Amino acid sequence: MSKIVLTGAAGALGGRLRAPLARLADTLVSTDLAESLDGLADNETYVKADVGDAAAMMELIEGADMVVHFGAIPDEAPFEEILHSNFLGAYNVWNAAQKHGTRRIIYASSIHAMGMYPKTVQITTDMPHRPDTFYGLSKCFAEDMASMYWDKYGLEAVCLRIYSASGPVQNARALGSWLSYDDLIQLVEKSVTSPITGFAVIYGVSNNDRSPVDNSKASFLGYRPKDNAEDYAAEILAKTPVADPQDKGQMCHGGPFATVPLGVSGVQFIKKMSEGN
Amino acid sequence: MSKIVLTGAAGALGGRLRAPLARLADTLVSTDLAESLDGLADNETYVKADVGDAAAMMELIEGADMVVHFGAIPDEAPFEEILHSNFLGAYNVWNAAQKHGTRRIIYASSIHAMGMYPKTVQITTDMPHRPDTFYGLSKCFAEDMASMYWDKYGLEAVCLRIYSASGPVQNARALGSWLSYDDLIQLVEKSVTSPITGFAVIYGVSNNDRSPVDNSKASFLGYRPKDNAEDYAAEILAKTPVADPQDKGQMCHGGPFATVPLGVSGVQFIKKMSEGN
Amino acid sequence: MSKIVLTGAAGALGGRLRAPLARLADTLVSTDLAESLDGLADNETYVKADVGDAAAMMELIEGADMVVHFGAIPDEAPFEEILHSNFLGAYNVWNAAQKHGTRRIIYASSIHAMGMYPKTVQITTDMPHRPDTFYGLSKCFAEDMASMYWDKYGLEAVCLRIYSASGPVQNARALGSWLSYDDLIQLVEKSVTSPITGFAVIYGVSNNDRSPVDNSKASFLGYRPKDNAEDYAAEILAKTPVADPQDKGQMCHGGPFATVPLGVSGVQFIKKMSEGN
Amino acid sequence: MSKIVLTGAAGALGGRLRAPLARLADTLVSTDLAESLDGLADNETYVKADVGDAAAMMELIEGADMVVHFGAIPDEAPFEEILHSNFLGAYNVWNAAQKHGTRRIIYASSIHAMGMYPKTVQITTDMPHRPDTFYGLSKCFAEDMASMYWDKYGLEAVCLRIYSASGPVQNARALGSWLSYDDLIQLVEKSVTSPITGFAVIYGVSNNDRSPVDNSKASFLGYRPKDNAEDYAAEILAKTPVADPQDKGQMCHGGPFATVPLGVSGVQFIKKMSEGN
Amino acid sequence: MSKIVLTGAAGALGGRLRAPLARLADTLVSTDLAESLDGLADNETYVKADVGDAAAMMELIEGADMVVHFGAIPDEAPFEEILHSNFLGAYNVWNAAQKHGTRRIIYASSIHAMGMYPKTVQITTDMPHRPDTFYGLSKCFAEDMASMYWDKYGLEAVCLRIYSASGPVQNARALGSWLSYDDLIQLVEKSVTSPITGFAVIYGVSNNDRSPVDNSKASFLGYRPKDNAEDYAAEILAKTPVADPQDKGQMCHGGPFATVPLGVSGVQFIKKMSEGN
Amino acid sequence: MSKIVLTGAAGALGGRLRAPLARLADTLVSTDLAESLDGLADNETYVKADVGDAAAMMELIEGADMVVHFGAIPDEAPFEEILHSNFLGAYNVWNAAQKHGTRRIIYASSIHAMGMYPKTVQITTDMPHRPDTFYGLSKCFAEDMASMYWDKYGLEAVCLRIYSASGPVQNARALGSWLSYDDLIQLVEKSVTSPITGFAVIYGVSNNDRSPVDNSKASFLGYRPKDNAEDYAAEILAKTPVADPQDKGQMCHGGPFATVPLGVSGVQFIKKMSEGN
């Protein structure tokens, strides 16, 4: 592969993808809002750019075989902010990729596109959306757009519905929803190296005993996670207060995002909750 | 009912809804981009406003029991135009309705949210989106947002996936997809008067022999169309050229919208096609 | 057909079935708790008996080709009462029918076996039970028992999930759920005269525009209702107060039965509600 | 349309299609094993030929826009006979149609492709095959072949799973399964005149109250039958003996074909059964 | 957790749960019909009581956070006996739990709620019931009741459809259906410690190669069995006589329970079968 | 077991089954078109015969408990050749087996019965056929015939939809579709030794990370493959050219068979493709 563009390269997840992606292409072009990035690989270039800037994206993506699009606000925020970075950002990427003949986009979608389903409903990759926040709604938008560009122009896309990507497992919800960094990297690698993907959706969850999602319809991608949050179960359950099944924040896949008012940070809420445990 | 707000009141469809809606509420507030409207009902007020103007929508919707939201660009157009009128317009309406405690929104969604499904696949009201244009993508967005506001705030919504609303049946595609104006009015009336709707999706299609949609899961709304495009079948089929099943514009539900490049008017294309027949 | 046994013959529904059933067999044996019945048909015999009395049922059903089992408490009641009349009554009937080689049982099941599903979910004849009351739970029991006697002994059964059987349509809920007496009679007649039924489940609902059920999988029974509650819609909706979609009694198929505490009469509640309208 | 070829033109069903098809094309070429046909339309030519004769089919189909393929043994028979007329016949037709660029084949498939499903299971157009005879197996073969030629070469096909096509309704089974001749003609006409069909399957059943099939997924074809076997119900049920639900011939969609040994005429069996009633 | 009540504590399965449950709560109250139990844990109390005794259950369950309800006749028996211990017993437990505000019930349901499905049909956790015995019918009853108490009162329940719980694998059927005691214990522990369960159904089967059930929709519970009956396969298959696929006792999930007449012990039958091998 | 007949015993797959099958029966009768076979087991007899020869098959199968039917042209070929060896061959085997009271047939079906489904659609064991070649069509035929003989005569069948059975993994497609020889042997052994199978369909695929099939509904057979093509992934992907998702040969399950014209060898095509890589 000649060139991969990675957006969101300075982020908590994007940053971990730089080295693996650099190994998969002749050139990796990393981009984000930061001034610069440390530790560039030999074949890696960094360009400061805003995904919400159409011209910048059009320029960056020229000649790219694939785009790994992780650049966006990674939290619930007021609609206007989400609109710029997450809606427009995604549009700019797909529009540029189509114009330039890019073959595939790997997209950091999110569980929050499906966050209002109760956890007692196992969610598959072909059920209708049920977002929990403006953040989740922007993921629905990009997935539907990805489906359209595939149907109309043959531009492939793999939408990764990332659940709880983090280092150590942080709370009871994550016993089911955790995605280890290693498994995230595997997921992105498989999405890049699969010969054919068409338009595909897959959940980004580790091999957790309590995983509440069904990836079977995307089995052809060959994603087989290795880590298991159950290693943390005894310790975490011991300090978890009694849950209230009538509370959407506890009953729904979206977790706290299913409870916070629209426009209000869910990440802050989760942080408090984890500290509180 | 005290007050209904109708957006898009000067449009081809919205205009036909003014009189019926005026009969269902104490006050009807009609709005659109036009300077004024002719033939206001006694209890109807007209306010010129842009649905893309958040403050205007917030003011208009105050005190409304229901909003019938038909105001948007009714055709494919460049993304930026769709973004303003169709995406932002819908967001402004839902946001204002939630803030003001409005009970229900009746929304002019469209078949183009599902336009890339082949016609040989009968589409239901609970299959994933498959939009064919930026126009269709904006309908997906509003439907997902409607689902979210219902899940989080209990704001009801009926999303009408309007197919080919027109006067006389105009081409072979419309033999299946036609929605007569009378049936459109019935559909909106039932959506307004149903005691309970939650979040509902329903196709706006007449009682055509060749109807390619399945509304059974929304049967509780009681929509029972009366008109049937088959009355026009012999005449129209006689002048229809041989179809090409490999052409998405003829094979897909979205019709010409499934073929036109993104951002290019599909209505113009249909017009030519009908004249050409 | 030689002999039909009708239980619940003195009830509001059972009483209406006496004449039609008398026309379908050489002998009709009617039974209920009443001392006697007026207007016996020439080939009709009345026997006072309690369906909860095993010996009485064993005696009555001897020689019967079919049993039309409508005898039970037709309302929510304390568990012990439901246990005797509805659970034990059904068991006594199936047990006797199997011992005597009866060919088929037509059973008055009820929508309340499915009452906790939201109305916005169209219910089919092969979804899992979701009862709303002890009354509904007894219907689940009899349906499962009917399935078992068919699987193990070849004893046929048609379970009629009767919705709102009444004279005139009484409230907004019944615009969807009404079953006219004529349609009830047709339903029972078809269940009796169908050459083959195996184990079948079918909803007892008229041809209402707003019917929220799907009988398609029992289409072979040929039940095609004639009446339509929509004739009453304008009048009833005009006097219906605003509904609260968060209230299970308004949102669920079971209606008030979905709200009343277990063991408390739902019929009284409906009565008040209708009068209140 | 320039040219239609009709095979089986001398048969009980094919014969009824000649006049309607002659009206839909410039030229109708009818073919069968008979020496000649009476009453040729002005634009109709008759050619004696065996569908099992590859060269004959190749010659006949040259220049045809559509083939209406009804030529086959219309009954169960020894495998070798079915192989020649029904398997090879169908292959010859598809092979020739593909070679000559024919646009669409309308195929007389049969309920016997699905005959072993119990009648209490409503059969749809997208369930797996479950044939009851070699005759039914040949229909499965042709349907699968039709799917393949569509997938590989874009050759359209409408497979009509004809149930009980006959004049008056003849027995209790036909109360559900009857297909009147008028409805058969409508079905073929719609299959010919639909602008697009792709690969489609549809049951050939009239608008019977007791119809045990679900054609909803082929609704786009616009087939809306007019006749209803229920007009004959009272008379026929009165003389129908008690059915045995353990007998596959009575319980299964295929009727007597589900009981007769493979290779033995089911039509004879039905005849006896109808006379016996 | 403060207090767990375990019914059926003297039984073959209940007895194995005492020690694990004692570790999960401050207090374990064990109950059964036996006079006393050996080996009480330090925090375990034993109370002799009949689950069919409403007052006794009401008293025992007061203050309980959870009830693990295993007390019932573990075999087919005459209806009257099943009615008392299994139907009434379950009702008494749910009624008391609801009155006392208990949070969750873990219920020993059984495969026999689904026993009449053929083994060649993989059974899921959301298919309709198909019981094989009065015993199985009582499990259907309790599951439906559990669903109702969850829907109406928010009382959680996990229904364990235990298949063949035993020590060593005993016959060919158990190669698919075996549940080792260790896996049973894991299943109950997970059901107790899961923060949220709502109303859930899950099969109690080990990690057998031949497992004929699908637990995927309950994956959020995190039950991951460790044992595998395949270790016994060679030995058992060698002594298994030829099976008859027309025999429901061999073809159906319920095994011998699918064949024994209603009311007759299936356990005795299985015993003979295993010895006979 | 007394006697097993193996057809296709000289073939690439059949040859590997001889020793394992010889261990499972008193007598193994191997047959193929070759003059003789090397290395006969002590209890193995070889008979030269053509599966297309009805009399030969009738004689061979007499007294057989099971037939393992692998004899057929293992590639696309002109229809007439496929007709003789694959269609007639299968018919001869089923017909003889039924006449002689054989209990079960293990059949080498193929992925090519489903080859036209896109790889991005996970295929299950109960979806309709979608063959890609005459070869695949013959597999559809035999599967439907197998279903019929089970429904009508109780003759069991396990249809193995073998995907890419080979030694080392040969190309990128096989990373998902590979079936190792050891796993093939396990699959056949489990099919033979399972006490009950009825009519079953199962995919022959190893435990590949990228397996694109779903065998869950045949889980009762206990097939648990051990090998994983992922061991070859890095090496193979490194030399795989960029795939074209619009090419059916790359996008569909059937691989090159989905692209080659009907009647033209797909195996040659695959060979070239693998060498080309």
The predicted pLDDT at position A277 comes to 43
* Whether D237 contacts chain C with CB within 8 A: yes
Residue among C26, C196, C207, C216 with most chain D CBs within 10 A, to mutate = C196
Q: Which listed residue (D117, D135, D163, D203) is catalytic?
A: D135
CA-to-CA distance for F198 and F105, rounded, in angstroms? 10
Is E146 a residue whose pLDDT tops 80? Answer: yes
Looking at the partner chain, which of F116, F147, F151 has a beta carbon nearest the beta carbon of D148? Answer: F116
Q: Which of E29, E30, E225, E13 is nearest to E110 (CA)?
A: E13
Residue labelled with tokens 């270790």 = E231
CA-to-CA distance for F237 and C125, rounded, in angstroms? 50
The predicted pLDDT at position C146 comes to 98
pLDDT tens per residue, range C59-118 = 999 999 999 999 999 999 999 999 999 999 999 999 999 999 999 999 999 999 999 999
One-letter amino acid at C36 equals: S
CA-to-CA distance for D83 and D72, rounded, in angstroms? 10
Residue labelled with tokens 């969604």 = B109
Cβ-based neighbours of E223, under 8 Å, separated by 6 or more: A209, E186, E187, E190, E191, E202, E215
Name the pairing type of β-strands D27-32 and D44-48.
parallel
Q: Which listed residue (E46, E117, E135, E223) is catalytic?
A: E135
Tell me the H-state helices in E112-180.
Answer: 134-153, 174-177
Distances (CA, A) of E226 to E14, E161, E208: 20, 18, 9
Residue labelled with tokens 């019944």 = C174
pLDDT tens per residue, range A74-110 = 999 999 999 999 999 999 999 999 999 999 999 999 9
CB B123 within 8 A of CB B253: yes
Phi-psi region of D133 (alpha: psi -120 to 50; beta: other; left: phi over 0): beta
Is B43 a residue whose pLDDT tops 90? Answer: yes
Cβ-based neighbours of E275, under 8 Å, separated by 6 or more: none
Neighbours of B265 (CB within 10 A): 17
Distances (CA, A) of B198 to B148, B194, B215, B219: 11, 10, 16, 13
Residue of D nearest to B210 (CA): D222
The predicted pLDDT at position C274 comes to 66
**Closest approach of chain C CAs to the CA of B127, in angstroms?**
14
Mean pLDDT in residue range C133-141: 98
Q: Which of E238, E266, E269, E267 is nearest to E172 (CA)?
A: E238
* 3-state SS, one letter per residue, for D1-37: CCEEEEECCCCCCHHHHHHHHHCCCCEEEEEECCCCC
Helices B54-61 and B89-100: crossing angle, nearest 10°?
40
Cβ-Cβ contacts under 8 Å, B193 against chain C: 237
- Greater confidence (E98 vs D271) lies with E98
pLDDT tens per residue, range E226-253 = 999 999 999 999 999 999 999 999 999 9
Neighbours of A231 (CB within 10 A): 14
CA-to-CA distance for B275 and C20, rounded, in angstroms? 60
Record: contact E154-A245, CB cut-off 8 A:
yes
Residue of C nearest to E116 (CA): C151
E near D: at least 3 beta-carbon pairs less than 8 Å apart: no
Handedness of CA F257, D126, F217, E243 (dihedral sign): negative
Record: contact B120-D220, CB cut-off 8 A:
yes
Cβ-based neighbours of E234, under 8 Å, separated by 6 or more: none
**Please, which residues 135-194 of chain B have a Cβ atom closer than 8 Å to chain C?**
154, 156, 193-194
Record: contact C237-B193, CB cut-off 8 A:
yes
Give per-residue burial for B105-144: e unless 16+ CB within 10 Å, then b: bbbbbbbbbbbbbbbbbbbbbebbbbbbbbbbbbbbbbbb
Catalytic residues of C: 135
Q: Which two tokens stand for residue D117?
A: 């499903």
CB E134 within 8 A of CB E81: no
Cβ-Cβ contacts under 8 Å, D246 against chain C: 154
Q: Which of F45, A253, B30 is nearest to E220 (CA)?
A: A253
Catalytic residues of B: 135
Is F105 a residue whose pLDDT tops 80? Answer: yes
CB B101 within 8 A of CB B37: no
Residue of A nearest to B147 (CA): A130
Residue of E nearest to A229 (CA): E222
CB A226 within 8 A of CB A148: no
**E4: confidence class by pLDDT, cuts 50, 70, 90:** very high
The predicted pLDDT at position C268 comes to 85
Q: Which of B252, B214, B207 is nearest to B229 (CA)?
A: B207
Q: Which of E169, E187, E166 is nearest to E228 (CA)?
A: E169
Domain boundary assignment for chain B: 3-274
> Which chains lie within 8 Å of chain C at 3 or more CB pairs, if any?
B, D, E
Q: Which two tokens stand for residue A28?
A: 């990796």
* Whether B105 contacts chain C with CB within 8 A: no
Q: Which two tokens stand for residue B138?
A: 């904006």
**Sheet containing E27-32, strands listed edge to edge, beginning at the edge strand earlier in sequence:** E44-48, E27-32, E3-7, E66-69, E104-110, E156-162, E199-204
* Whether F114 contacts chain A with CB within 8 A: no
Record: contact F156-E245, CB cut-off 8 A:
yes
- Greater confidence (B267 vs A52) lies with A52
Is B77 a residue whose pLDDT tops 70? Answer: yes
The predicted pLDDT at position D103 comes to 98
* Whether E250 contacts chain F with CB within 8 A: yes
Q: Which helix (H) or strand (E) holds C178?
A: strand C178-179
Interface ipTM: 0.96
Is F154 a residue whose pLDDT tops 90? Answer: yes
Cβ-Cβ contacts under 8 Å, F231 against chain A: none
Cβ-Cβ contacts under 8 Å, B145 against chain A: 131, 137
Q: Give ∠ CA B53-B57-B58 in degrees, rounded to 5.
A: 115
Mean pLDDT in residue range C117-145: 97
Residue labelled with tokens 């549940």 = E179
The predicted pLDDT at position E277 comes to 43
CA-to-CA distance for A255 and A117, rounded, in angstroms? 10
Looking at the partner chain, which of E130, E145, E151 has a beta carbon nearest the beta carbon of C147? Answer: E130
Neighbours of D36 (CB within 10 A): 9
Cβ-Cβ contacts under 8 Å, E95 against chain C: 79
Q: Which two tokens stand for residue C223?
A: 């039940």
* Whether A215 contacts chain F with CB within 8 A: no
* Whether E199 contacts chain C with CB within 8 A: no
CA-to-CA distance for D257 and F134, rounded, in angstroms? 28
Q: Which two tokens stand for residue A92?
A: 């700019």
Residue of C nearest to B190 (CA): C210
**Closest approach of chain A CAs to the CA of E91, in angstroms?**
23
Q: Which of E141, E118, E157 is nearest to E72 (CA)?
A: E141
DSSP state of F139: H
Looking at the partner chain, which of F154, F216, F218 has a beta carbon nearest the beta carbon of E246? Answer: F154
The predicted pLDDT at position B268 comes to 85
Name the pairing type of β-strands C178-179 and A178-179.
unpaired
Cβ-Cβ contacts under 8 Å, C196 against chain D: 119-120, 243, 245, 250-251
Neighbours of F238 (CB within 10 A): 9
Record: contact E147-C95, CB cut-off 8 A:
no
DSSP state of F213: B
CA-to-CA distance for C32 and C51, rounded, in angstroms? 8
* Whether E247 contacts chain C with CB within 8 A: no
Cβ-Cβ contacts under 8 Å, A262 against chain B: 148, 152
Backbone angles phi, psi at B242, to 5 degrees: -60, 135
Handedness of CA C227, C231, C233, C236 (dihedral sign): negative
Residue labelled with tokens 């826009």 = D65
Could you tell me what percent of chain E has a pLDDT over 90?
94
Please state the CATH superfamily assignment of the domain spanning residues A3-274 in this structure. Answer: NAD(P)-binding Rossmann-like Domain (3.40.50.720)
Q: Which of E173, E254, E204, E277 is nearest to F194 (CA)?
A: E173
Mean pLDDT in residue range E54-66: 98
Is E268 a residue whose pLDDT tops 70? Answer: yes
Record: contact F122-A195, CB cut-off 8 A:
no
Is B102 a residue whose pLDDT tops 70? Answer: yes
Record: contact C151-E140, CB cut-off 8 A:
no
CA-to-CA distance for E39 and E41, rounded, in angstroms? 6
pTM: 0.97
> Which chains lie within 8 Å of chain B at 3 or more CB pairs, if any?
A, C, D
Q: Which of D147, D238, E148, E214 is nearest to C115 (CA)?
A: E148
Record: contact C222-D233, CB cut-off 8 A:
yes
- Percent composition of chain C: helix, strand, coil (DSSP 3-state, to 5): 40, 15, 40
Give per-residue burial for E107-138: e unless 16+ CB within 10 Å, then b: bbbbbbbbbbbbbbbbbbbebbbbbbbbbbbb
Q: Which residues of chain A have pLDDT under 50?
A: 277
The predicted pLDDT at position D267 comes to 87
* Whether C101 contacts chain D with CB within 8 A: no
CA-to-CA distance for A88 and A83, rounded, in angstroms? 6
